Each structure stands twice: as C-alpha cells, then as structure tokens.
Amino acid sequence: MYRDLVRMWVDRAHLAQITDNYANMSIVLEIANLLNELNPEQRKAVLHQEGPAIVLAGAGSGKTRVLTTRVAYLIKEKKVAENAIFLVTFTNKAAAEMKKRVLDYTGKNLTYGGTFHSLSAKILRIEAANGHLADFGLNANFTIYDSDDQLSLIKNIYKTNGFDPNTFKPQVVRAKISQAKNELVSPIDFKEMAKDGLQLFTAKVYKIYQKRLRDENAVDFDDLLAICYQLLLQNATVRQKYQKRFEHVLVDEFQDTNQVQYFLTKIFSNPENNLFVVGDFSQSIYTWRGADYRNLERLSRDFPNIQEYRLERNYRSTQNILDAATSVISNNQSHPVLELWTDQTSQEKLEVYENSSGELEAEKIASIIREKYLDQLDQIAILYRTNVQSRAFEEAFMRQQLPYKIVGGTKFYERSEIKDLLAYLRLCFNRLDSPSFERAQKIGKRRLEKLLLWLEKTDRQILENPSSCLQGIIENTLYLDKYDQKDPDDLARLDNIQELFNVASRFDNTLLLLENIALVQDGYLANEQVEQELENKITMMSLHSVKGLEFPIVFMVGMEEGLLPHSRAILENNEIEEERRLCYVGITRAKKKLYFSYARTRFTYGYSSHCSPSRFLSEIDQKLLQFNRSFEYQEPAAQKKYYYQDKKTTNKKPNQSRRLVIDEDSLEALLNDELDIREFLQK
C-alpha cells in the first residue's frame, strides 16, 4: 500500500511537470504568434534586452502594437510581474486601449498603466495615506481641481484682493502659472525671474493661489506632476520604493513630454535604466502646451548607451501619400526625419482644388462628397487649421443635407461668444426676447445697461445694417474687453467673432441675417436626434485634434499662407517648423485618398482678401499632385467693409483705412525695379 501511495505521488508529480511544461510551451507559442505578426524592425524592438531603448516610430508604423507586444513579452517570457511595469501615454483613450491589448495578450491587468497625470495621482494618494505629503500641506483626501476650478479660484483671488481683471486677464495668469509649474518654477523663483508687469503680477497671484490650494487641501493638474516629482526627489525612501518596484518603464509619444514629465521618466527608470520610449520628431505639434520634442534628443545625452530602433514601414497610407508627407517634413532642419515606405503602391494622385472663395471651397467639397462618397461618409475627415473654418463647411453640409459631427470642438453658432453677440443682436429688435435678455444679463448687467442706452439714441439705419450694428454693440458694451490677445483661447474666440462679422457682411439687413442664422440653427436642432442615430457622418476637426486617428478619405482645407502655416507663425522659423509638422500629421492621417483645397479670396477683417497657396503645397513633388480649377481667377477688388476693431490697438474708423491688393505680377515687377513704387501706390 505504501509503495502504491509513493508510486501515485510520483505519477502525480510527473503529471504536474508535464502539465507545467505544456503550459510553458503554450505561452511560448503565444508569444511566438505575437512576434510572427511583427515585421523584422518591430520584432527587434520588442525583443530588446536590458538597458535604455528609443523607438523612432513613423506615422502608421504600428507603434501601439510594438509597445503592447513588448509588455506581453516582458510578462510572459521574461516573467516580469504586471505591477513591476510602468506604462504611460498621454490620453485616457490611448491608455485604455493599450491596457486592454495587454489584458488580451496576457490575461493580466497592468497596475501602473495610464497617463502621467493619472499615475502621478495614484502615487500621491498612496503616499498621502502614508503621511508623506504632510510637508506639501496635503492629506489623503486632497481634491483635484480641473481647469474651470482653477480659473474660478484665480477669479476669486482677484475679487478678494481687489485686482483689476481688465489689466491682466485671469485666463492669461492661469496659463502663466501652469507654464511655471511644468517648468518646475516655484512662486519665489518666478518672482525673482520676473521681467515685466505681467510676470510680476503673475508672481503675486501665483503665491496666493498656491496658498489657497493648500488651505483647501487641493491640487491642480500641474501639481500632480510637480508634487510627485518633488516628493520623489526629496524623499529617498519613497523614491527607492518606486525605483525598486518598476523594473521596466515604457513611455508612448515621448515627443509630447514636457520638462517635468521628462524628469519623472528619468527618476522612475533609474537605477536599472530599463527605459523603452516611443516617439517621432515629426509628430510633435503641442509646443504651445509645453511639449518639447528635444526630449527625444536629451535621451542620448542622459542615457549614453541607449539603443535606437527605427520603424519606417507604414501600414496606413499609399506610397504617394507618404511621399507627399516626406517631401514636406524634409524641409525641417532641426530634427531627424524618418523615410516612410509601404507595400501599398497606388498611382492615384493627390487632388488639389483651387476655389475662388472660402464659401465656394466648402460648397465644392460638399459636392465632391455627395457625388462620390455618399455611402462612405463615416470614412471622411475634414481637417482645418483653426476651428473658425468649420462655419462655412457646416452651412454647406446643411444645404446639401450631409450629416456631420465636429470632434474636439463646438458647432459655430453654438459657441459661447457667438451666442452672446446673437443675443445682443436680437435685443436690438425685440426687447421682449426673454432668452436673449437673460443671456445678456449673465454676460454682465452693466454691459446690458450700456447696450440699452445706446439703442435709445442710435439711428435705426445703423441697427438695420448687420455689420454696423455688430460694430456698435461691441463698441458700446465693451464686449471685447472680456478677451486677451495673449491668451490662445481668447484669440480663437476673437477669430470666431471676426467670422461672424464676415457672415454679417454678406447681408444687407440685420433681420435677414438673424433669420438665416435661425434657420441654420433650426437645422442643427431639428436633425440633432436623427444625426445621433446616424453612424454615417462626416467627421470635422482641427489638425491638432486628429493626432492618433486615421481615415480612408481626408480633405485638408484652407491650404493657404496665413492659415497653414498660420499668420502668427510665419515670422519665426521654429514656429514654421511646427506648422510643417502639423501639415505632416494631417497628410499622414489619410489611408487611400487625400484632397487639398484652398481659396483665392477670403473675407478677413471685412476685406475680400487675396490668398496665396500654402508654401507646403509647393514643397510637395508636383508629379504627385493633380490640380483642379473650375473658374477663371480675377484679382479681388480692394473694397473695405465694416469690421470690428479693438480700441486698445487702433482709433481708426472703418472707412478711414485703405488696403491695397498686389497681384503676383506687380510684386515681381516691384522687386525687379520694373515698376515704380509711387506709380503703384497712386493706383
């Protein structure tokens, strides 16, 4: 009996060994299958052994698959625990996608997978419970203030301390404080570094703001990163705890990291230096948000033994699209450029449409979509440089009954500044309009009083002219005082207001303007439910919002100097390079078909202005392009219309200005001294 028990135990042990071997074999086969799905360059990156590595991954090269397969390889082949991996990216959506893939590959949930902010918040919660945030004035129940909360707190500081919001806008001060935190500049250091009135004032608010946050046991989003970094830097026990825990650190979209994110990455990856980052210089488009593509270069300095892998095979686009993208981005001199290639050979050219005006540009594209892609609307993206460009396309799509959605933005007539001015306009003709009256009160009772006083004494003819009526509203309510031209968000709002003036200039009667807008809005509202039920919709978004997405059919609109590249970037080479990267990102979103379009004239500040095609179009090999023009171009007349003006910048009345439009032939003649400048000015 004893021998039988021993034999049974041995047999069971043998069986267990066989089972374990089979299980291990199964794991190896699963990993082998994952690796077999990769190309040789991707596989080399995934199988990277010890030490730091940088993967330069071009658009559509499968970087997400590389990252997630790398994690699966570490867990299943290298036996790294799932809580010993630090996987970070920049959006909650991207983080969720990567964590799901890892779960599908391994059956394991990553403990530390997410965004920089979410993972920093997690660490701070843990360490606050351990009492390690006492030095920062925080306990475990700290609140995280979002951007609206931050602005509300700053406005309260203004009110409490008697600060004038018209001198330095709260939005601008908030942006300055955010920038300081991302650069790890304390209130004291900020004050010492201040060079002008705005910086000195910001330093004062910054100090009060930080004290208020601590008094309220609160942090803002920038604090999540800054405090986490300071905690790790100052507390050796906490720092060593996480350095020991994280055996491997993986970072996605490394070109989008700012200064504090770079330092956090360095701390977490030490001392083993098992750092694995993925990035692409050419897709860095968020400098205005603090991102610094040079962090990719700094890795080589801080990690001398770093190994580089390049992913240049593209799985998204045709070769013609990739060649166009490469020819544009190759004009940047400040960073390396990947040579993208694909097996998807197509001889179909990229189409360029020249249009006589911005309105006709939208109508033309709507017609193309209706003629060719009516059953493929969900495969189409309209990409523009500024959100204000959406208005013409919204109305064109409404007229041609094409359903659409706006991603990362609001429909034009639903934007707050537009709704404000429309409320004022309606009150000019109907004092009993209660929704407009209530909105005007919320804008400011003093502004409303000034409006009503102006209406009592103004001439009816002024009110009936849409442009002059809008001009009068803005001047008398001081509405533009709400916005600051140093604030990017406010600049976008001012652009929207200007577009409303452009719309108004096309109407001879204010009531007709309001009627037209009401009909457009009614179209929005009437079709809202139907649109939500329709999946087959055109997608419209800005170039900054399209990062990480792809579409079979892409229209890049407004390809003009002043729009792309933007007028605010033209004078600075580094800003031109960012605009070029933005163009590159737009081009590489297209999978099969890419259209460019531009207008020869556009209403800007009340003018019908001449527009030049974007320099980026000329940088593309012309053999790749097919140009289309269905009109005979004529230079626009230099006729001045009403437009809003900021009294802070000019005292000129609209009819006191004169604008000359110079055609290309005249410009060349002037440059070659073939035309006398005085003769030209006397025209």
The residues assigned a catalytic role are 63-64, 252-253, 283, 589
The whole-angstrom distance between residue 161's C-alpha and the CA centroid of its chain comes to 35
Question: 41-72 b/e with 16+ CB inside 10 Å = b?
Answer: bbbbbbebeeebbbbbbbbbbbbbbbbbbbbb
Residue 339 one-letter amino acid: E
**Helices 416-427, 466-477: inter-axial angle, 10-degree rounding:** 100
The span from the CA of 392 to the CA of 374, in Å, is 20
**Helices 116-129, 259-269: inter-axial angle, 10-degree rounding:** 60
Residue 421 one-letter amino acid: L
The span from the CA of 244 to the CA of 278, in Å, is 23
Task: Enter the tokens of residue 221.
Answer: 């989003």
Q: What angle do CA 471, 473, 477 make, to 5 degrees?
A: 125
- The pair phi, psi for residue 495, each rounded to 5°, is -60, -40
The span from the CA of 549 to the CA of 560, in Å, is 24
Q: What angle do CA 178, 179, 183 make, to 5 degrees?
A: 115
Task: Enter the tokens of residue 81.
Answer: 């625990």
Closest-CA residue to 113 (of 77, 140, 82, 144): 82
The span from the CA of 125 to the CA of 616, in Å, is 48
Q: Is 220 exposed, middle or buried (0-12, 13-18, 19+ CB in 10 A)?
A: buried
Closest-CA residue to 643 (of 382, 465, 517): 465
The span from the CA of 668 to the CA of 651, in Å, is 34
The span from the CA of 528 to the CA of 666, in Å, is 50
DSSP for 428-440 reads: TT-TT-HHHHHHH
Residue 379 one-letter amino acid: Q
State how far the alpha carbon of 145 is from the alpha carbons of 152, 202, 212, 242, in Å.
10, 19, 12, 26
Our CA dihedral for 276, 282, 287, 288, rounded to 10 degrees, sits at -130
CB atoms within 10 A of CB 94: 17
User: Please, are residues 383 and 555 in contact by the beta-carbon 8 Å criterion?
Assistant: yes
The span from the CA of 87 to the CA of 246, in Å, is 10
Residue 471 one-letter amino acid: Q
Strands (E), 508-606: 538-542, 551-556, 590-599, 601-604
Helix (H) or strand (E) holding 75: helix 63-76
CB neighbour list of residue 554: distance below 8 Å, 6 or more residues apart: 380, 381, 383, 586, 587, 589, 590, 593, 594, 595
Beta pairing, strands 607-610 & 601-604: antiparallel
Residue carrying structure tokens 């605010």: 568
The span from the CA of 186 to the CA of 470, in Å, is 44
